[in-house]
Each structure stands twice: as C-alpha cells, then as structure tokens.
Structure 1
Amino acid sequence: MAKFSKSNAPQFSVDVYQNEFLPEGGREVNAIVTVTSTGGGAVAAPQFYAAGRGADTAVALMVDCSGSMDYPPTKMRNARDATAAAIDTLRDGVHFAVIGGTHVAKEVFPGGGRLAVADAQTRDQAKQALRKLSAGGGTAIGTWLRLADRLLSAADVSIRHGILLTDGRNEHESPEDLKAALDACAGRFTCDARGVGTDWEVKEVTGIASAMLGSADIVADPAGLAADFTRMMETAMGKEVADVALRLWTPLGAEIKFVKQVAPTVEELTDRRVEVGPRAGDYPTGSWGDESRDYHVCVQVPNAELGQEMLAGRVSLVVPGADGGVQNLAQGLVRAVWTDDMTASTSINPQVAHYTGQAELAQVIQQGLDARKAGDADGATAKLGRAVQLAAASGNADTAKLLSKVVDVVDAAEGTVRLKAKVAEADEMTLETRSTKTVRVKK
C-alpha cells in the first residue's frame, strides 16, 4: 500500500452541503460531501515533466488481441496506434508494461516479468514491439488483470494504474473467474476500461471499471481510440495521491443508509466499507490528481427531543501514513438539529435534491434499456420518459442528447416520449455506458 508524502502533493478540502434541520421524530440526515484536491496533477507532454516526477507511478496497458480484433482489419491497427499514443504520453520515469490479451495474457513489452522505465529509448522500443501484435484467440479478461497485477506490484511506487481495451465478450472464462480476478486486484491498482466497436457487453466493461475505481466508456469507431487513449493516459499521469479513503464516523445508535459517489459519475460505495474502529469505516476512492468529486452520505440517527443538536457524522479523507498509521488530509461535519419550524425542517438542500435526481436518472436509464431489451415496450417508455424528464430538469444536456437517439421526445418537461422503432446499436450502448455520468450543481 502506498505511503503519503506531503512534499509535492495536492491539498485536499472537504465541504458539506445539507439541511441539518429535522422535524420532531425525523431521523434521516442527508448530506453532499464535496472533496476537492488542488495544487497537483498538472498535465504536460513527457518532455516537460520534471526529472524523476514519474518515478512514483506504474502503468499496465492491456490490449485485446483476440480473433475478433481482425474484423474489420483496421481495428487492430487502431488499437496499436492508440497504445502507441498512450506510450508517447507516459512521462519520463514511469514504470510501464504492455500486455496482449486473448484467452491467456502475454507480456508484449518489456517481457521477463518486468516493467520498463519510460524514456525516449524505451518508448521507442515499446512502439516497435507493438508492431508484432496480431489478432487470434479468445477472451479471458481475468487473466489480463492478474498479469497486470503481478507486474504492477513488482514496482516500488505509490500509484498503480491499468488501461484495458476489449472489443468482445469475455467468453473464455466464467463470470465467477472474472469476479475472482477483480476481487483479487481491487484496491491494488485502479483501471480504466474501454469497449471498442459494438460487440462487447456493457455491464461487463462498466463492472470492471467500477470494481477497479476507474472510468468506463465506449469508443464505437476504432478511429477514435488514439485520442481517447491519450486523454486517459494524461489523466493517469496527473494522479499524485493513491489509496485515498473517505472515512465516516457515526455516533452510537446511528445507522448508515448509504454512501455513494454522485459526481462525476454515480458509484455505489456502501458495500465497500472497511471497518477501522469503533463506529468508523473507510470507503475507497482510488487515486487523485487535480479534481473534485461529490459524495452523497445518508445516515439514520437515533431520535432526539426538539431543540437538541447532534453530530450525525464526521467525514475525513485519509491516506496510509509513513508510520503504518493513517494521515488525515481534511474533514467535514454532518449535523442534525431537531426543530418545530416546519419551513426549516421541510426544505431540501439544493445539492441533495440535485444529486438524488442524478442518481435516479442513472437508475431509470438502466431499467428502461433492460426493459427495451426484454421486449417490454410500456416499461421502457415509462422509464426512459422519466429519464428524459430528469435530464431536462437538471440540465444534463449530454445525457439528454444520448436519450434522444433512443426515444423521440414529445414533451421533455412532462417526460412524454415514444420509443424509436430503429436504434443504432452504438447509440444504445453509448447511452448505457454513459448513463452514470452526472452534471454538477450549478453554483
């Protein structure tokens, strides 16, 4: 596990948005916790990085080389070009490896169970090795992840990151084998996952990214891979603090209803809690650069009398410390105050209202698409209509645009829609893959 050093790290802050007032008998406290890290993570081309800046990072690139990557033949070429573009984005000093993935995982570069250290020479050698990549064989993504884990864990670095590209379904290992691999690798490195084309399974790719605290996306046209890989690698190069956890302490008698990330994407964290002492637990958030994320915390507190106040929760940001303990980076407080002022106790905090809607938006898109696939036209129309209504109300223009490719919008404000008779597979998959992307509250 990475140790945190303060010398060149970003500064973290925690802001809590909530309505702390509860009516008589009220017990549910909701808060949006905004975590911001600043002063680190500047992204530049490799030659502009300070010497040694990359020495604390290791990256494994996993490229699908299964037989389907030959259809069309340009797909494999685009994958090679994209991987080369990502390698060009590595800063000097970063440890890296390239893995070719089929029904087995093969080391493409540097080989011998090692990682290379990025400089002009190794970047060039890696790109030469990519030319030998050819398509053939099946798909067993769990084997790719396990090899990436073995290689990344050999490096004495804080930040370990994977980038995974697949174009097909994980047909050559059982779902149980993939889950076992994800369970074994989760928390050891973060991983972004991309599906290229339209022959892969959305829930598989988004499930990998979710388990590994990374991003998921579709690149429907393989020609877009190089730009996407460059952006992904630039983001990875901007990470400066690993193993950051959201630590939540609650008072005696309180019960945590849920903890979820709500921006930039919806990510359920409730079941990932690791107990760390009396009434405190850690929720993993992965690696951070210069960025801001929002979390929705819902706590059920014990009942209290009118006029009473209570600390409903303490939210801290912690990382492993050099002495084996933890270092506290920032904290915020969640409060509960019981009042008979109906206006105070019934008003919903704008942040809480907004993100409750964004979480529902992600859920109804998923339910609507599942209903559509199952042939339930009425169910699909109702759910996707609600999605259109929520997207319009919250100003989530990107999701509204994706929805309009799957339904004809009659009245967005009312959520009145008609299912399109014909929908391009890429459009449906894009909506499903990006359904959890949220927009932030307009300040």
Structure 2
Amino acid sequence: MSDFTVEADWSPHLAVDGGVVDIIVTVTSSAGGAPAAQGAAPSVAQVIMVDCSGSMAGREIEEAKRATNAAIDALRDGVRFAVIAGTERAQAAFPVNQTLVPANDRTRREAKQAVRTMRAGGGTAIGQWLTLARHLFQADPAEIRHAILLTDGANGEARGTLARVLEECAGAFVCDSRGVGSGWVATELRAIASALLGTADALADSGDLATEFRSMIEAQMGKVVADVGLRLWTPAGADVRAVKQVFPEVVDLTTRRTEVNARSGDYPLGAWGAESRDYHVSLSVPGAKPLETRAVLRAGVVARDGTPLAEQKLVTATWTEDIEQSTKVNPRVAQYLGQTELDEAIQEAVAARKAGDTERATAKFGRAAKLAHETGRVGTLKLIEKAVEVVDAPSGTVKLRTTGGVSRDEEMLEARSQKTARVGRGTKES
C-alpha cells in the first residue's frame, strides 16, 4: 500500500423498496514520495500551447511569451518539454523537429529564444494544436503527460472537429485550458478540461498569465504518482448512476469507466501529489427486508497496472420502513449536491442566453444565485452579481442586465463555476 487513504460520507438508511444512495468518497494522498512498489518518482513530459492568432497582437502576445518563459523556468531538470505556437495550424516553436527535449540550462535558454520570435497572426484551430500535442506525447515514454493550452478566441474549425479531437486525445495527456482577452468561449475551455481531466479558467488581465503558468507547472512538478484510478465495486442489482469529481472542481467521470469485471470498474483520476479530492458516487440500489444491512459499495484507488494503493472503503446501507430515516441526507453529501446543481444551473443559464431564451436564463440565474447563497459559494455569488442584477439571493430573484448576447461576465462565470468549495468532514456517518 502507499500513502493513499479512502474515506466516505453517506446516509446509511434506505427505504425498503430501494432507491438512490449518494456517497462522497474522499481520496487523500500524503505523497511524501512515490509508492514503494513504483520506486523513483515518475517521469514527466510537458507541452505548452500558446495562441498566436492575430487577435493576440499587442500586450497579450507579449504577456503570453512572458508566461511561457516563466513556465519553462519552473520545469525541473530532466522534464521533457516542447512549445507549440498555435494559429490556423499547429507549429512546433521549440524544438522545431517536433520532439520533446529534456529541460536543462541549455534547452531552457534555447526555448526562450524561440519564444521571443513568436508573432501574432492568423486564425485559431485548437483541434490542430491538441493533435500535435498528442503526437508529441505519444512519441515519448513519460508516465505523467501534462499540457497547458492558452487561447484568446473561439475555435475556428468546422463544427464537431474539436469534439472528435478531444475524443482522440482522451487518456493520452492531461490538459489545463486557460482563456485570456475577450474572445474565448467558456464551453470550449470546459470541454477541453473535462475530456482531458484538467482545469479550466479565464483571466481578466493578461498580466496575470505568468503567475498562472508558473503555478500550473509547479503543481505538475509536485506529482509523484501517475495514472491513479478510482475502483468501485457494487453488488448484483446495484447500478452506478454517476461518478463526478466534486472538489476541487466538478469533473464528470461517469462515461470514463473501464470495466474490470462484472461488478467492478475503474475511473481515471490522473496524476497525484500531496492532495485530497472528493468524488460523488450515485448508486441505484434495489429493495430489501426491513433492518437488513448490506454492502452497497467498495471504493479504492489503484495504480495503472491495477495494484491497490489504499485499503478499500466499505459502504453499507440498512433498509428501513422509517420514512424520516430513509429521507435523511448526510449534510456533507447535501452540500456537494447543491454545489453540483449550482454549476449545472449556471451552464444552463448561459446556454439559454446564447439561445435567446431570456425567461429560462432568468430562472436559471435566479436558481444559481439561491444555491450559491445556500452553499456558501461567496466567490461564485460575486461572479453572478457581475453577470446579472441579484435582487435577492436567498429567494433567487434576479434581473438580466442586457437583452443582447452573452456578456463577458457571463462567460467568465461559466468558465469558473465548476470550481467548488471544500466541504469539511465534521458531520460524517461512515
């Protein structure tokens, strides 16, 4: 076993005719070093994709180059890396032979010289940038593969191209997507992060890019365990309805299951350092006799080859005819369900705005304001207040600020709504 632990919070009583069990699974790694079974820390590869389209001209391209240099400086010796200049095509800015090279004093200096020559011009074809990144990673043996993608505009490729490319890239590398300037699209940033198990965000000021890039690289340099999986076992008759990461941000893993056997499946969690993440597992469970207690879930974490990294956590339920007991929701579960619903409400609100449905948009923004208030998401509520006029958050009363298209504040809200607040384990029933 390694330095991983698995804990769970749930409501232990279920109605005799069955129903849904919602469980928050907390995975924690102290990650003082790689697991003994794996020996030395895993090898790392890094690709930095920089939007060099015409709209980046001026301050933004200069700040993007400064940020890329900061990222290069943050790479530890030996990490293999490359820089892609993205326009309507993908070009390897460094090295030019489309390979990854190990970071050292010489290659860092050469890379920064190449970055200085990057110029803004042309269009935006994000799918091509990702395809080149996949090519670079697939030709390299690194165990941890991480990319940063920066864009200031909407993808200009044919409809469906980006979705197809993301499907091809899934599992090949992790990608953090960032927007800067005024032309990026939140749904595209989130789609990239969701498919590639990364994070999505947008920066109002390009002057913050260097700090952001450095932070993302430093986070990767702290990863010491590659390709961790969440292994879930369920008994006969139980079905997994959904599996989502709910902290530090919402990532839907439901469709990412790899079958292990008839009752078990693995869900990809990416690489880990010293950190803790929370996952929502929703199960549909059949009925049973009153006072009967059964196992409904075993949750564990495994390495790429299936080696267990922690003791499994057993989750049981007791069937009851007591309605008060069977309808009671664990407070921690309730808080995370509210935060997940908040993220969904914001996405639906912005989608309604894009479709011109102001009535639905108002209702969804109102629901989002109410949920942000109830779940203590102060930062998200502030973003909602920038996007719409919040008349009364507790009741969910809001007014749209404009009757036109989606504002930049609404896009920013959508880009950041998946970030969640940690719910403590003070009230647990495990």
Tell me the TM-score normalized by structure 1.
0.90
Q: Secondary structure at the match of 2:119?
A: coil
Please tell me whether residue 92 in structure 1 is matched to residue 77 in structure 2. yes
- Partner residue of 1:402? 383
Match of 1:30 in 2: 22
Q: CA deviation at 1:124?
A: 1.4
Kindly indicate whether residue 209 of structure 2 is the aligned counterpart of residue 225 of structure 1: yes
State whether structure 2 residue 102 is matched by structure 1 residue 121: no
- Residues 275-290 of structure 1 mapped to structure 2, 5 A cutoff: 275-290=259-274
- 1:277 is paired with a residue whose SS is coil
In the other structure, the counterpart of 1:46 is none
1:284-363 map, 5 Å: 284-321=268-305, 325-363=306-344
Separation in structure 2 between the aligned mates of residue 257 and residue 183 of structure 1, nearest angstrom: 22
* Cα distance between partner residues in 1 of 2:88 and 2:199: 24
Q: Distance in 2 between matches of 1:226 and 1:40?
A: 28
Shift of 1:74: 1.1
Matched, 1:412 2:386: no
Q: Quote the sequence identity (%).
A: 51
State the distance in 2 between where 1:175 and 1:308 align.
53
Show the counterpart of 2:49: 62
Aligned-partner Cα distance in 1 for 2:87–2:387: 33
- Counterpart position of 2:346: 365
Cα deviation code 1:178-216 (max 9, x no counterpart): 222211211111010111111122111110111000001
How many angstroms does 1:367 deviate by? 1.5
Structure 2: distance between partners of 1:294 and 1:414: 29
Q: Do 1:55 and 1:95's aligned partners in 2 also have CA atoms closer than 8 Å?
A: no
CA 1:319 to 1:62, structure 2 compared with 1: closer, same or farther past 3 Å? same
Q: State the alpha-carbon separation in 1 of the partners of residues 68 and 33 from structure 2.
A: 22
Cα offset for 1:278?
A: 1.6
- 1:161 lines up with 2:146 in the alignment: yes
**What's the CA shift for 1:411?**
1.9
**Residue of 420, 430, 433 corresponding to 2:412:** 430
Q: 1:66 offset after TM fit, Å?
A: 1.6
Partner Cα distance (2:215, 2:371) in 1: 29
Q: Which residue type is aligned with residue 32 of structure 1?
A: I
Check conservation: 1:109, 1:129, Cα contact below 8 A.
Answer: yes
Counterpart residue identity of residue 68, structure 2? T
Mark the runs of 5 or more structure 2 residues left unpaired by the alignment: 35-39
Q: Tell me the SS of whatever aligns to 1:405.
A: helix
For the residue of structure 2 that corresponds to 1:175, the secondary structure is coil
Match of 1:3 in 2: none
Contact 1:239 1:287 in 2 (8 A): yes
Offset at residue 238 of structure 1 (A): 1.4
Structure 2 letter corresponding to 1:366:
Q
Please show how residues 194-233 of structure 1 align to structure 2 within 5 Å.
Answer: 194-233=178-217
Gaps of 5+ in 1: 1-5, 43-52
Amino acid of the residue matched to residue 436 of structure 1?
Q
Q: In structure 1, what is the Cα distance between the partners aligned to 2:353 and 2:125? A: 29
Letter in 2 for 1:34: T
Do residues 265 (structure 1) and 249 (structure 2) align? Answer: yes
**Aligned with 2:340: secondary structure?**
helix
Gap change, CA 1:104 and 1:240, over 3 Å in 2 = same
Assess if the C-alpha contact under 8 Å between 1:365 and 1:384 holds in 2. yes
**Residue identity in the other structure for 1:15:** E
TM-score, normalisation: structure 2: 0.92
Deviation per residue, 1:136-194 (Å, 9 max, x gap): 222221221121122223332211100111111111x3233322221121111101011
Measure how far apart 1:407 and its partner are.
2.1
Which of 141, 153, 159 is matched with 1:175 structurally?
Answer: 159
The verdict on how the C-alpha distance between 1:207 and 1:41 changes in structure 2, with shifts beyond 3 A counting, is farther
Residue identity opposite 1:102 in structure 2: T
Matched, 1:139 2:127: no
Partner Cα distance (1:279, 1:297) in 2? 15
Query: How many pairs were matched up?
Result: 420
Q: CA deviation at 1:431?
A: 0.4
SS in 2 for 1:326: coil
Root-mean-square deviation (CA, aligned residues, Å) is 2.1
2:287–2:319: 8 Å Cα contact kept in structure 1?
A: no
Q: Is the 8 A contact 1:167 1:199 kept in 2?
A: yes
What does the per-residue CA deviation read over 1:382-420, in whole Å, with 9 as the maximum and x for residues that have no partner? 211111111111111110110111222222211222222
Aligned AA (1:259): V
Give the drift of 1:41.
Answer: 8.0
Letter in 1 for 2:106: Q
CA contact 2:229–2:304 (8 Å) conserved in 1 = no
Amino acid in the other structure paired with 1:87: I
Contact 2:21 2:284 in 1 (8 A): yes
Deviation readout 1:268-312 (Å, 9 max, x if unpaired): 111111111122111111111111111111111222111211111
